């Protein structure tokens, strides 16, 4: 038996199993299979992060998408049970140039291939990810399918086990991401007491030593948001996407955190109307991140647009207008707020993307309310933008003092 066959067996892989990416325009990329097998359709996007692949895989913001890692080697420090941003992989497929079969890190518990198999996610490797990324940059995000159920004929044509290639292309073309927030959000609220990782259903609870209590709207929240709030002395009540103003008043909270999440923000008509009622019906401090930033803008009369290929990675430069300072930020989004669509009497743009000039943050005239497009909890700087959590906590303390006065 050859060495490559022995390595494949050690990694529970079938040697030389082929996998393919089929794009909506009919382009086919041939590579090797890893992870699960089958066929999955999604929106094909790329992310430029050099590390953080486990966080990327478990980020609910990738719901319904197929992610390309532009960095050529992925999986070199393995997978552990601590760094997940949620309890599952939300993306439909995963594409890398090479994955590391023998990770080296004292925290590693398994390799990337085994993790994808465990989560049922189809992986594709050994393709030219640079060429694929250039295509997405030139033509924009497009639908595609990753599949191990394709067979190449001698004449260069393909057969698909699920039907004809024409039927596969029709399914790819018809694919849309729908009800993304509803599908990733929790259905019942839960309470995370200060410095605990195990939730309880006592959502109205409060820890006596906690500085503040936050209602964290779950639009697909990342666990590091929870950790960032805990590290600043906050209790956290994670609430479903459709939590109302009346529900919030029963929780006796000091602040509202609107989380990240997937999909087209403008699709969420019911959620936007609910947020509009919350934002106009109380003066509780608010911080919105990513999708929370977009939804707040829509609730306050602004507009959003879909970007050609989005911002995904840990190296996006953002200008803080007030402090004339540029920060390196981590981002994962395909839509952006149109800054000039916001009424100046209601809001002003506070942060701008240095690369393309898009809106990255908004400061509202509503008391103690601000939002950012990037992820301050993701530590890209690594801690440059953590001041936003500090500002949020200061706002909550001021609100709490005024409420108790």
Spell out the residues 6+ positions from residue 30 whose beta carbon is closer than 8 angstroms to its own: 18, 20, 127, 152
Q: β-strands 359-364, 39-47: how paired? A: unpaired
Q: What is the DSSP string of 143-208?
A: EEEEES-EEE-TTS-EEETTB-HHHHHHHHHH----SHHHHHS-SS-EEE-TT--S-BS-TT---T
Residues constituting the chain = 405
Q: Using CA atoms, how far apart are residues 68 and 95, in angstroms rounded to an integer?
A: 5
- What phi and psi values does residue 399 have, to the nearest 5 degrees? -65, -45
Q: Is 277 a catalytic residue?
A: no
Under 8 Å between Cβ of 230 and 206: no
Q: Using CA atoms, how far apart are residues 353 and 317, in angstroms rounded to an integer?
A: 6
Tokens representing residue 178 in the block: 């729908």
Catalytic residue among 290, 333, 351, 360: 290
* C-alpha count within 13 angstroms, C-beta hemisphere, residue 9: 5
Q: Using CA atoms, how far apart are residues 118 and 135, in angstroms rounded to an integer?
A: 31
Q: Is 359 a catalytic residue?
A: no
* DSSP 8-state assignment for residue 77: T
Q: Is 375 a catalytic residue?
A: yes
The single residue listed with the structure tokens 């999909």 is 263
Active-site amino acid positions: 290, 375, 377
């Amino acid at each position: 038996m050859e060495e490559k066959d022995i390595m494949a067996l050690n990694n529970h892989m079938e040697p030389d199993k082929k996998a393919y990416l089929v794009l909506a325009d009919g382009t086919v990329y041939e590579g090797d299979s890893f992870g699960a097998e089958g066929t999955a359709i999604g929106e094909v996007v790329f992310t430029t992060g050099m590390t953080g692949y486990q966080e990327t895989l478990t980020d609910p913001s990738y719901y319904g998408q197929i992610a390309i890692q532009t960095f050529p080697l992925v999986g070199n420090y393995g997978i552990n049970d601590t760094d997940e941003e949620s309890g599952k992989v939300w993306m439909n497929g995963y594409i890398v140039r090479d994955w590391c079969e023998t990770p080296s890190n004292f925290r590693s518990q398994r390799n990337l291939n085994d993790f994808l198999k465990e989560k049922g996610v189809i992986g594709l490797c050994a393709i030219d990810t640079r060429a694929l990324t250039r295509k997405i940059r030139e033509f924009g995000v497009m639908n595609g399918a990753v599949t191990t159920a394709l067979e190449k004929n001698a004449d260069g044509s393909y057969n698909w086990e699920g039907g004809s290639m024409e039927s596969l292309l029709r399914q790819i073309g018809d694919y849309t991401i729908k009800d993304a927030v509803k599908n990733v959000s929790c259905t019942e609220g839960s309470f995370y007491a200060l410095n605990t990782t195990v939730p309880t259903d006592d959502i109205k609870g409060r820890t006596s030593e906690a500085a503040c209590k936050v209602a964290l709207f779950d639009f697909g929240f990342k666990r590091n948001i929870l950790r960032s709030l805990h590290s600043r002395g906050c209790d956290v009540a994670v609430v479903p996407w459709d939590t109302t103003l009346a529900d919030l008043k029963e929780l006796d909270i000091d602040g509202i955190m609107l989380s990240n999440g997937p999909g087209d923000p403008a699709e969420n008509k019911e959620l936007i109307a609910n947020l509009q009622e919350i934002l106009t019906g109380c003066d509780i401090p608010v911080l919105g991140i990513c999708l929370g930033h977009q939804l707040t803008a829509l609730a306050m009369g602004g507009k959003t647009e879909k970007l050609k290929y989005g911002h995904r990675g840990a190296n996006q430069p953002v200008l803080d207008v007030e402090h004339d300072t540029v920060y390196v930020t981590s981002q994962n989004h395909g839509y952006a707020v149109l800054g000039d669509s916001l009424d100046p009497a209601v809001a002003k743009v506070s942060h701008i993307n240095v690369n393309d000039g898009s809106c990255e943050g908004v400061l509202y005239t509503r008391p103690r309310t601000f939002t950012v497009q990037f992820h301050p909890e993701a530590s890209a700087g690594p801690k440059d933008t953590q001041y936003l959590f500090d500002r949020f906590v200061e706002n909550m303390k001021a609100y709490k003092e005024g409420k108790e006065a």
